[in-house]
Amino acid sequence: MKRLVQILAILIVLALIVLAVVKFMPQHSTDQHVAADFTSSPSSLFAEFESNEGVASKKYIGKTIELQGILVEKDSDESGAPVVLLASSKDGDPEVFCTLEQSEQSSFDELTLGQSLTIKGQCTGMLMEVVLNKGIIVK
């Protein structure tokens, strides 16, 4: 019983350390003038995550990525922030989900489905699509 309590205490401490590291990780806003760490297409980025998510996560999470793709959907998230979904082709399934900075709202409002779009954002991993946050519209 004593051993079980010790193991449980160690697990709780480790969980708290991981939570603190994630919470206090530096979060930089994406900037128009800062060069992207990587440039890719939605399909290439998605394929890397799909083939080996662990390796792709180590490579991309926390990095700024610039993508050129086709706007296949636009929406707002639960907090009202603008969201774009990009694919590599007009008829393709969404491969990248990007939440834009609130400052991008006026540019977002002018976007039309099917148009070519270049965005830059910080990768946070993959759910159904590759997820970028703090996105800006480059052109």
Q: Which domains does the chain have, with CATH numbers?
A: 29-137 (2.40.50.140)
| Angle subtended at Cα 11 by Cα 5 and Cα 13, rounded to the nearest 5 degrees | 105
Predicted pLDDT of residue 27: 53
Residues of the chain with pLDDT under 50: none
pTM: 0.73
CB atoms within 10 A of CB 137: 21
* Alpha helices for the chain (secondary structure H): 2-23, 42-51, 53-60, 105-109
Predicted pLDDT of residue 41: 93
Predicted pLDDT of residue 31: 54
